Amino acid sequence: MTIWKVKLTREAHEDFKKLDDSQKKAVIKQLVRLEHDPAYGKALVKKAGIDLTGFYKLYALRKKV
């Protein structure tokens, strides 16, 4: 099985640092899933004149306690 490497942009890394620990944990969980399957998530399409074919949407939700 191929493992991909996720690399955050500088801006994404700065945003990540601002998250609290539970939010960081949720994001990391999704990034690990993405490393195992780069097509993980909801496939986007062309809508309102913007072609996002080939891109995927992921949510990183933390569980409410």
Which is higher by pLDDT, 61 or 2?
A: 2
Q: Where are the domains of the chain?
A: 10-57
Give the pLDDT confidence of 13-59 residue by residue, as tens digits. Answer: 999 999 999 999 999 999 999 999 988 999 999 999 999 999 989 89
Q: Residue 24: what pLDDT? A: 95
Confidence of residue 8 (pLDDT cuts 50, 70, 90): very high
| Range list of β-strands (E), the chain | 42-43, 46-47, 50-51, 56-57
Q: Residue 61: what pLDDT? A: 79
